[in-house]
C-alpha cells in the first residue's frame, strides 16, 4: 500500500484507465458479448475497449453487427466510465458507499479534472453525476420519439439510451449496423438537433456547465467559461460555413458535421468520409485537432488552448500582453498551451510516419486523418480502420489513450525526480 501511496496522481490515472480498458477487453472477448459466429481476437477486443473508454469511436468491427445486447451494454458502460473519468467514477463509488474521500483521492480528481484547487471536490463530483444523468435522460427520451418509428419498443429504448450516452460522452459509437453511423437519419431534424445538443453540452466541460447554472449571466462567468463559450460558438459557426463552401451539403448537414467533427465523430454525410473534398477533409482535420473544451468528454488540444495560441501570437505580433475579455492570460498558461500543442503535433507526425511505412496501400491523407481522429478521440475515419495491420492498430490504441489522458500528462509520468538545485545563467539565442 505504501507504494500505491507514493504513485503520482498522473501515474494513478494512467494505471486506472489502463485497468478499465483491460477489464473491458476481457469482458468483450467473452462469448456472451458477441453475436453468434463472431470471434474477437485479443487485439480487436483491446482496440474496441480502448476506443470505448477513450470515447473515440474508431471501430475495427461494426458495433451492432458484432456485439449482442450484453456486449453493447459493456461498451456503453465503458463509454460512461471513460467519459466521466476513472477518478470521478471512483470517487462517486466512495460517496455512494458513504465513505470519506481521502486527501489522496481528492488529489487524483484534481489532476484528472484539471482543477485549480481541491476545494469542494465532493460537491463537484456529485454535480457531475447529476448533470450527466439529467442530460443523458432527456436525450434518451427525445431519441425514443425518433427510434420508436424504426424499432420495436424495447429495442428502441436500448438504441435511445445507447445513442444518448454515446452522444453526451462524445463517443461516436453507434448501433445502426454496417458502419452506417447516422447516415440513415441525415434529414431527421429532431435527431440531428438532439444529438448536436448532447454533443455540445458534453463538449463544454462540467465546470462551464456548473458555472453557467450558478452565474446565469455571461459577464459574471469565469474567464475560462467565457473563452469556452466564445470558441465553441465560433468554431461551430466557422466549421458550418466552411463545409457549406467546400461541400455539396445541406445547412443542417453542414451544422451537424461542424458540431460532430470536433470530437463526437458521428456522421450523417456519407458512409465514407472520403466523399468529402480535399479541402473539406483538411478542414475536418483542423477541427478535430482543436477538439472540445477542457474537463469535458471531448479530445483534441482543446478550445481554450487554441484560443491562447491565437491570442498570444497576436499579442506578440502587436507587442502587447496576451489578453482575453479584459483579463491577462498568465505566461505559464500560454507556455503550457504551446507545449501541449507541440507534443500533440509531434505525436501525430511520428505516428503518421510509422503507419505510412507499415501501410503502403493507404494514401498519406487517409493515414494522417486516422491518426488525428484517434489522437483527438473523434472516431471519424476514411474507412481504413478495419484494414489496419496489427502494428498500426497498436499505434492507434496508444494514440487514443494518449489523446484521452492528454499528451502532457502522458509525458510527465515518465519523470518524477524533483528539480536539482544547481542554477544556471541565462543566455540568449536567436530564434526564427
| Binding residues vs K ion (CB under 5 A) | 57, 172, 265, 378-379
Nearest approach, Cβ of 240 to K ion (angstroms)? Answer: 19
b/e for 334-349, b at 16 or more Cβ within 10 A?
beebeebbebbeebbe
Query: What is the footprint of a second copy within residues 280-309 (CB under 8 A)?
Result: 281-283, 286, 294-295, 301-302, 304-305, 308-309
**Distance separating alpha carbons of residues 372 and 300, to the nearest angstrom:** 9
Nearest to 158 by CA among 33, 67, 72: 72
Nearest to 202 by CA among 168, 236, 174: 168
Those residues whose C-beta lies under 8 Å from the C-beta of residue 49, and which sit 6 or more positions away, are 21, 22, 24, 25, 27, 28, 78
| Nearer to a second copy among residue 185 and residue 289 (C-beta) | 289
**Distance separating alpha carbons of residues 192 and 197, to the nearest angstrom:** 9
Among a second copy, K ion, none, residue 183 binds (CB under 5-8 Å by kind) = none
- Asked if 2 is part of the footprint of a second copy (rule: CB under 8 A), the reply reads no
- Asked if 212 is part of the footprint of a second copy (rule: CB under 8 A), the reply reads no
| Nearer to a second copy among residue 144 and residue 243 (C-beta) | 243
| Nearer to K ion among residue 172 and residue 295 (C-beta) | 172
- What backbone phi and psi angles, to 5 degrees, belong to 16? -60, -50
Among K ion, a second copy, none, residue 99 binds (CB under 5-8 Å by kind) = none
Show the binding pattern over residues 326-345: x = contacts a second copy (CB under 8 A), - = does not: xxxxxx-xxxxxxxxxxx-x
| Nearer to a second copy among residue 71 and residue 295 (C-beta) | 295
**Distance separating alpha carbons of residues 10 and 108, to the nearest angstrom:** 7
- Asked if 363 is part of the footprint of a second copy (rule: CB under 8 A), the reply reads yes
Among K ion, a second copy, none, residue 424 binds (CB under 5-8 Å by kind) = a second copy
Q: Which helix (H) or strand (E) holds 11?
A: helix 9-29
**Distance separating alpha carbons of residues 83 and 21, to the nearest angstrom:** 13
Residues found in the chain: 432
Among a second copy, K ion, none, residue 172 binds (CB under 5-8 Å by kind) = K ion
Query: What is the footprint of a second copy within residues 128-167 (CB under 8 A)?
Result: none
Among K ion, a second copy, none, residue 379 binds (CB under 5-8 Å by kind) = K ion
Half-sphere exposure of 328 (CA within 13 A, CB side): 5
Of positions 153, 346, 387, 391, contacts a second copy by CB under 8 A = 346
| Nearer to a second copy among residue 271 and residue 324 (C-beta) | 324
Amino acid at each position: 500500500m505504501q507504494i500505491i501511496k507514493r504513485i503520482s496522481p498522473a501515474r494513478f490515472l494512467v494505471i486506472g484507465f489502463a485497468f478499465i480498458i483491460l477489464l473491458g477487453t476481457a469482458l468483450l472477448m467473452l462469448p456472451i458479448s458477441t453475436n453468434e459466429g463472431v470471434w474477437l481476437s485479443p487485439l480487436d477486443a483491446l482496440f474496441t475497449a480502448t476506443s470505448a473508454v477513450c470515447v473515440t469511436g474508431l471501430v475495427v468491427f461494426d458495433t451492432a453487427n458484432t456485439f449482442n445486447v450484453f456486449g453493447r451494454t459493456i461498451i456503453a458502460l465503458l463509454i460512461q466510465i471513460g467519459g466521466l473519468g476513472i477518478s470521478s467514477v471512483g470517487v462517486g463509488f466512495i460517496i455512494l458507499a458513504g465513505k470519506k474521500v481521502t486527501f489522496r483521492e481528492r488529489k487524483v480528481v484534481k489532476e484528472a479534472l484539471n482543477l485549480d484547487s481541491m476545494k469542494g471536490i465532493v460537491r463537484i463530483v456529485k454535480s457531475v453525476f447529476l448533470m450527466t444523468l439529467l442530460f443523458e435522460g432527456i436525450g434518451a427520451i427525445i431519441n425514443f420519439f425518433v427510434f420508436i418509428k424504426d424499432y420495436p419498443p424495447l429495442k428502441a429504448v436500448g438504441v435511445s439510451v445507447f445513442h444518448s450516452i454515446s452522444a453526451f460522452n462524445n463517443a461516436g459509437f453507434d448501433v445502426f449496423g454496417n458502419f452506417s453511423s447516422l447516415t440513415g437519419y441525415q434529414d431527421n431534424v429532431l435527431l440531428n438537433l438532439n444529438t448536436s445538443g448532447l454533443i455540445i453540452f458534453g463538449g463544454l466541460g462540467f465546470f462551464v456547465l456548473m458555472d453557467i447554472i450558478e452565474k446565469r449571466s455571461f459577464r459574471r462567468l469565469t474567464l475560462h467559461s467565457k473563452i469556452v463559450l466564445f470558441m465553441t460558438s465560433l468554431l461551430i459557426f466557422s466549421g458550418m460555413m466552411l463545409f457549406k463552401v467546400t461541400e455539396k451539403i445541406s445547412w443542417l448537414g453542414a451544422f451537424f458535421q461542424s458540431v460532430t467533427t470536433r470530437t463526437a465523430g458521428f456522421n450523417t454525410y456519407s458512409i465514407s468520409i472520403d466523399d468529402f473534398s480535399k479541402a473539406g477533409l483538411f478542414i475536418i482535420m483542423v477541427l478535430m485537432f482543436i477538439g472540445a473544451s477542457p474537463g469535458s468528454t471531448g479530445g483534441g488540444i482543446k478550445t481554450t488552448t487554441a484560443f491562447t495560441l491565437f491570442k498570444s501570437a497576436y499579442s506578440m505580433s502587436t507587442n502587447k500582453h496576451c489578453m482575453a475579455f479584459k483579463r491577462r492570460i498568465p505566461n505559464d498558461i500560454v507556455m503550457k498551451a504551446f507545449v501541449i500543442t507541440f507534443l500533440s503535433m509531434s505525436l501525430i507526425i511520428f505516428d503518421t510516419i510509422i503507419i505510412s511505412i507499415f501501410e503502403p496501400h493507404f494514401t498519406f491523407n487517409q493515414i494522417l486523418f486516422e491518426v488525428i481522429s484517434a489522437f483527438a478521440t473523434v472516431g471519424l475515419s476514411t474507412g481504413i480502420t478495419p484494414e489496419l495491420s496489427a502494428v498500426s492498430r497498436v499505434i492507434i490504441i496508444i494514440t487514443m489513450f494518449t489523446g484521452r489522458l492528454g499528451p502532457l500528462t502522458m509525458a510527465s509520468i515518465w519523470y518524477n525526480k524533483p528539480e536539482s538545485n544547481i542554477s544556471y545563467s541565462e543566455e540568449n539565442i536567436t530564434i526564427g
